[in-house]
């Protein structure tokens, strides 16, 4: 049978997106109109501005997605289903996308599929596999060696690359798999049991990790890298690379909910870490002011905190935030093992998933041998002996899957793909569905 073709629409936040994707994993088109320039001067997303920009932009975005998909003489009639984000997100923004999708679906007499935005982030990995540079021979220990190498997020990924690689043997995660959703809006660790069944292992008790990156970047007055995708978080990552002494502030920065403090709760927390960054910046600024005044400098001439120290603090913050993620993922994996769940992979998704330190840390966590019980040296010797006698079985390595950075941030490709996955299970929605701005998984 011919593959299904889905149109996806995503307007949950501040990007207006449409895409056409097929059930045999081809991305026929993807169009994204960002509103970044509208919100950035306001210091955050303004819902009313987002709403109006979606209303202005969505028709042309959908038109472009259909045209670029090159659907042949049937044009839009070749579309088999229309998928749209119902939530969670900004109510008015969601409404624009949902209404457009419902109207299109009804007018064309096509099935409509309402999609959970976070579910779509999680399922992205079943459409696209890993970055090409992360692909390694999984049948050998090379995987472990390769995993220890820090990976940088390539920015050159294109739709053409994706379509070209389809013929290859890229692995797609089988259920159940773990998903770490780390973005500006969410910080979650989930078990994906099936297309429509998830268990939340951990969410944040205060701020999202993206917010912590963004606020820390602002606090440190990190220059915005114009034209660079990823926002302040990506700028912070870049800035921290220049740190010569990344350990300078480590003793003043907490690792949240850390095992060290015996806090084994399955929760994320970033407010304390963020506050520590603010406190250090304030303290350093005061010291710089005092030192400047002592040298007779005018307050305007005093740099608020010298750049070397700012880089060190950025690196320290990133280290603590990412270590925190890593510890919770390790606990999550342990929990799954205790439950007898055979987890195939860890999928990292969301904007912060672009961060190379996040990726390399998760690769280490997933490659680490199972936690060893403490054994007496006698037992250890016995075990070694047994191991020498038995053929060594390959250790189960949990594969780390990072969808290409572009598909880790908000996009309509993931919505169209989720629509296909749901449609194939018969999960279709009526034309009168409503938005769900707050929608637990
Ligand atoms: O998924 P996303 O594009 O939007 C939603 O929040 O839904 O995530 C955006 C967040 C922002 O907070 C941004 O600063 C952060 O992801 N981010 C990063 C990096 N790239 C984007 N944080 C850390 N390192 C990065 N390289
Ligand atoms: Zn998102």
Nearest-10 crossing angle of helices 117-127, 413-424? 90
- pLDDT at 164 exceeding the cut of 60: no
Distances (CA, A) of 171 to 52, 403, 411: 40, 12, 22
- pLDDT at 132 exceeding the cut of 70: no
- Predicted local distance difference test score (pLDDT) of residue 171: 65
The atom number, within ligand 1, closest to the CA of 185 reads 6
- pLDDT at 89 exceeding the cut of 90: yes
List, chain by chain if needed, residues with CB within 6 Å of any ligand 1 atom.
Answer: 13, 183-185, 210, 213-214, 230-234, 237, 350-352, 354-355, 409-410
For residues 65 and 21, what is the distance between their CA atoms, to the nearest angstrom? 10
> Among all ligands shown, which has an atom nearest to the Cα of 359?
1
Note the pLDDT tens digit of each residue in 169-225: 456 888 999 999 998 888 999 999 999 999 999 999 999 999 999 999 999 999 876
- Predicted local distance difference test score (pLDDT) of residue 143: 30
Distance 214 CA to ligand 1 centre (A): 8
Q: Which SS3 state, helix, strand or coil, does residue 76 take?
A: helix
- pLDDT at 149 exceeding the cut of 70: no
DSSP secondary structure letter of residue 261: G
402 vs 43, which has greater pLDDT? 402
Choose one of 183, 229, 351 to mutate for the ligand 1 pocket test, by most ligand atoms within 8 angstroms of C-beta. 351
- Predicted local distance difference test score (pLDDT) of residue 396: 64
- Predicted local distance difference test score (pLDDT) of residue 388: 54
Distance 299 CA to ligand 1 centre (A): 34
Partnered with residue 27 across adjacent β-strands are 21
Whether omega for the bond prior to residue 176 falls within 30 degrees of 0, making it cis, is yes
Q: Which SS3 state, helix, strand or coil, does residue 265 take?
A: coil
Distance 208 CA to ligand 1 centre (A): 10
Note the pLDDT tens digit of each residue in 340-386: 999 989 999 888 988 999 999 999 999 875 554 444 556 556 655 55
Summary mean pLDDT of the chain: 85
Distance 119 CA to ligand 1 centre (A): 17
Note the pLDDT tens digit of each residue in 28-41: 999 999 998 888 88
């Amino acid at each position: 049978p011919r593959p299904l073709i889905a149109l996806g629409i995503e307007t949950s936040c501040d990007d207006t997106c449409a895409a056409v994707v097929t059930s045999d994993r081809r991305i026929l088109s993807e169009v994204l109109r960002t509103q970044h320039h509208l919100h950035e001067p306001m210091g955050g997303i303004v819902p009313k501005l987002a709403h109006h920009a979606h209303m202005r932009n969505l028709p042309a975005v959908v038109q472009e997605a259909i045209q670029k998909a090159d659907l042949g003489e049937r044009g839009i009639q070749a579309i088999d289903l229309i998928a749209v984000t119902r939530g969670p997100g900004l109510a008015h923004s969601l409404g624009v996308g949902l209404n457009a999708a419902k109207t299109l679906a009804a007018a064309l007499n096509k099935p409509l599929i309402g999609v959970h935005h976070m579910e779509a982030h999680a399922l992205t990995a079943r459409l696209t596999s890993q970055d090409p540079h992360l692909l390694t021979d999984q049948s050998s220990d090379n995987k472990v060696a390769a995993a220890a190498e820090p990976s940088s997020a390539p920015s050159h990924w294109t739709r053409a690359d994706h379509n070209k690689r389809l013929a290859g043997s890229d692995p797609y995660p089988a259920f159940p798999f773990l998903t770490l959703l780390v973005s500006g809006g969410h910080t979650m660790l989930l078990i994906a049991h099936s297309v429509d069944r998830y268990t939340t292992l951990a969410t944040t008790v205060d701020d999202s990790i993206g917010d912590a990156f963004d606020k820390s970047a602002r606090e440190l007055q990190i220059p915005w890298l114009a034209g660079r995708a990823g926002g302040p978080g990506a700028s912070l990552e870049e800035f921290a690379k220049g740190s010569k002494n990344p350990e300078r502030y480590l003793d003043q920065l907490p690792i949240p909910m850390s095992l060290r403090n015996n806090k084994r709760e399955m929760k994320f927390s970033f407010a304390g870490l963020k506050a520590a960054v603010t406190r250090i910046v304030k303290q350093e600024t005061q010291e710089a002011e005092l030192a400047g005044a002592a040298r007779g400098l005018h307050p305007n001439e005093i740099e608020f905190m010298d750049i070397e120290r700012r880089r060190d603090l950025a690196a320290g913050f990133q280290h603590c935030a990412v270590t925190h993620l890593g510890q919770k993922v390790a606990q999550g994996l342990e929990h799954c093992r205790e439950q007898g769940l055979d987890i195939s992979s860890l999928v990292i998704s969301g904007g912060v998933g672009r961060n190379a330190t996040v990726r390399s840390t998760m690769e280490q966590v997933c490659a680490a041998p199972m936690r060893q019980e403490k054994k007496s040296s006698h037992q250890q010797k016995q075990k070694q002996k047994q191991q020498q006698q038995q053929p060594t079985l390959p250790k189960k390595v949990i594969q780390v899957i990072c969808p290409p950075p572009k598909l880790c941030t908000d996009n309509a490709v993931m919505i169209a793909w989720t629509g296909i996955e749901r449609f194939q299970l018969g999960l279709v929605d009526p034309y009168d569905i409503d938005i769900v701005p707050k929608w637990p998984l």
